[in-house]
């Protein structure tokens, strides 16, 4: 589900790197991070175990070229590959717009690839998606190792019945001159998809008014409206610069994992998440099935006050978002598919 903000002129996409453990998903994000100029990349966050295995996800926000006056932003995520972390993989797939399946080319990893691809399909189905509708590319990684299966064979096994938008490519290090042809995002497709959320100028103004009022009433320092897929939708307060993109990704991750915890205990959801710091505290609460509200506050107020006014603000925000989701998509300048020139204007690499 891409999120289109007509007020800020930004389109947000979520891309997930999927695949078996040790195939090179984390290495991919590190590679992308290294290749991009500072202006095009945010902070990379890795939630990993002590021995560098991905525990929850890696996250890298990338801002790319502008398309028809809109800045395109991509949130790149990886999942943990080990089979026991399926709950986590499912959470990370929420709101996905495109998948890069990172396959391990070694013969003795073939079964893990197939299992992971099946698992991807199973998990997508829970969001009523599948690999025929979600843009999807396969990356055959680890081609430099001995005992690798031929590409044709891997294609046959992992990329059968490919639809036109799919591609496959070898590992990124083989392409010093830029992204391989397999990752032309959205070519031939409309930029606006069925599941998108479009926030128009009028919605944005109403959202801002609710957030400002919440700040005044609750004496919080900052407040963030966050989509549960991890994307920030709006912000108020915070005189100092916050890394709102990282905060949104981490808060949505934490909130969705506590929701999963709640279900394990037979609760439908824990509606509030509260973290108390020495100077500042965080309060995260439910707005609706798709959005959460995060408040940052200090000793000028109390958690009780914040909770009270968060409930009120959530009702107002829920109503605005419901209207935005129900409204037919105003496709306008974004309706037509990308032209080949627009698709080619990819991100430039970091100067050597
Ligand atoms: N030889 C080789 N090693 C790779 C390649 N890609 C990743 N690796 C290494 O494989 C290991 C696992 O990679 P990682 O990105 O952590 O795998 P993940 O579990 O999919 O996130 C690391 O030691 C990487 O440096 C590759 O193309 N060739
Ligand atoms: Mg990893």
What is the pLDDT at residue 15? 92
Ligand 2 geometric centre to CA of 51 (Å):
11
| Atom of ligand 1 lying closest to residue 171 CA | 27
Q: Between 304 and 167, where is the model more confident? A: 304
What is the pLDDT at residue 212? 97
Confidence of residue 154 (pLDDT cuts 50, 70, 90): confident
Ligand 1 cavity residues, CB under 6 Å: 19, 21-27, 54, 78, 81, 102, 141-142, 144-145, 171
Cα of 201 vs its chain's centroid, Å: 23
Q: What total number of domains does the chain contain? A: 2
Q: Cα–Cα distance between 125 and 129 in angstroms, integer?
A: 5
How, if at all, do strands 272-275 and 167-170 pair?
A: unpaired
CA distances (Å), origin 66, targets 144, 161, 334: 35, 33, 12
- Residue with CA closest to ligand 1 atom 3: 142
What is the pLDDT at residue 187? 36
* Domain contains 13: yes
Ligand 1 geometric centre to CA of 347 (Å):
24
List CB contacts of 106: < 8 A, sequence separation 6 or more.
142, 145, 147, 148, 149
H or E element in which residue 322 lies: helix 303-326
The CATH number given to whatever domain includes residue 151 is 3.40.50.300
| Atom of ligand 1 lying closest to residue 141 CA | 27
- Residue with CA closest to ligand 1 atom 9: 24
Concatenated DSSP letters of 125-151: HTTT--TTTS-EEEEEE-TTSSSBPPH
The CATH number given to whatever domain includes residue 268 is 3.30.450.30
CB 19 within 8 A of CB 335: no
Indicate whether 84 pLDDT > 60: yes
At 19, phi and psi to the nearest 5?
145, 170
| Atom of ligand 1 lying closest to residue 58 CA | 21
Please indicate, yes or no, whether residues 320 and 228 belong to a single structural domain of this protein. Answer: yes
What is the pLDDT at residue 56? 85
State the average pLDDT over residues 172-182: 44
At 69, phi and psi to the nearest 5?
85, -5
- Residue with CA closest to ligand 1 atom 26: 142
What is the pLDDT at residue 94? 92
Ligand 1 geometric centre to CA of 281 (Å):
37
Q: Cα–Cα distance between 290 and 193 in angstroms, integer?
A: 17
Please indicate, yes or no, whether residues 241 and 144 belong to a single structural domain of this protein. Answer: no
Indicate whether 57 pLDDT > 80: yes
Whole-structure pTM value: 0.87
List CB contacts of 345: < 8 A, sequence separation 6 or more.
65
Ligand 1 geometric centre to CA of 142 (Å):
7
What is the pLDDT at residue 239? 59
- Residue with CA closest to ligand 1 atom 1: 142
Confidence of residue 175 (pLDDT cuts 50, 70, 90): very low
Please indicate, yes or no, whether residues 92 and 165 belong to a single structural domain of this protein. Answer: yes
Across the chain, mean pLDDT equals: 83
Q: Which of 307, 279, 305, 277 is nearest to 294 (CA)?
A: 307
Q: What share of the chain is helix, strand, coil (3-state, %, to 5)?
A: 35, 25, 35
> Any idea which of 198-212, 219-233, 271-285, 324-338 has the lowest mean pLDDT?
324-338
Please indicate, yes or no, whether residues 221 and 183 belong to a single structural domain of this protein. Answer: no
Please indicate, yes or no, whether residues 131 and 235 belong to a single structural domain of this protein. Answer: no
Please indicate, yes or no, whether residues 149 and 239 belong to a single structural domain of this protein. Answer: no
Ligand 2 geometric centre to CA of 48 (Å):
8
Task: Show which of 154, 177, 195 is a domain's final residue.
Answer: 195
Ligand 2 geometric centre to CA of 34 (Å):
16
């Amino acid at each position: 589900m891409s999120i289109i903000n007509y007020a800020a002129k930004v389109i947000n996409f979520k891309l997930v790197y999927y695949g078996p453990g040790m195939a090179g998903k984390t290495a991919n994000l590190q590679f992308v991070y290294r290749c991009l100029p500072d202006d095009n990349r945010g902070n990379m966050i890795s939630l990993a175990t002590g021995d560098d295995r991905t525990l929850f996800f890696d996250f890298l926000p990338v801002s790319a070229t502008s398309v028809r006056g809109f800045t395109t932003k991509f949130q790149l995520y990886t999942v943990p590959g080990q089979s026991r972390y399926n709950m986590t993989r499912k959470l990370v797939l929420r709101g996905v717009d495109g998948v890069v399946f990172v396959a391990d080319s070694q013969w003795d990893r073939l079964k893990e690839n197939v299992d992971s691809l099946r698992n991807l399909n199973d998990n997508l189905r829970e969001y009523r998606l599948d690999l025929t509708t979600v843009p999807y590319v396969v990356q055959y990684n680890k081609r430099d190792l001995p005992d690798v299966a031929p590409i044709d064979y891997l294609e046959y096994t992992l990329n059968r019945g490919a639809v036109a938008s799919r591609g496959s490519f070898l590992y990124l290090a083989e392409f010093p001159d830029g992204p391989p042809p397999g990752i032309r995002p959205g070519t031939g497709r409309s930029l606006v998809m069925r599941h998108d959320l479009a926030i128009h100028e009028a919605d944005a103004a109403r959202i801002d008014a609710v957030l400002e009022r919440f700040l005044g009433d609750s004496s919080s320092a900052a407040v963030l409206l966050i989509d549960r897929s991890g994307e920030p939708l709006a912000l108020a307060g915070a005189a100092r610069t916050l890394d709102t993109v990282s905060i949104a990704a981490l808060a949505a991750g934490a909130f969705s994992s506590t929701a999963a915890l709640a279900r394990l205990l037979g609760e439908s959801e824990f509606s509030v998440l509260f973290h108390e710091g020495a100077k500042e505290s965080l309060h995260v609460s439910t707005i609706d099935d798709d959005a959460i509200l995060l408040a940052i506050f200090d000793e000028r107020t109390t958690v009780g006050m914040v909770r009270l006014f968060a409930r009120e603000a959530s009702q107002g925000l829920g109503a605005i978002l419901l209207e935005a989701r129900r409204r037919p998509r105003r496709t306008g300048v974004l309706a037509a598919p990308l032209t080949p020139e627009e698709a080619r204007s990819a991100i430039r690499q970091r100067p050597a």
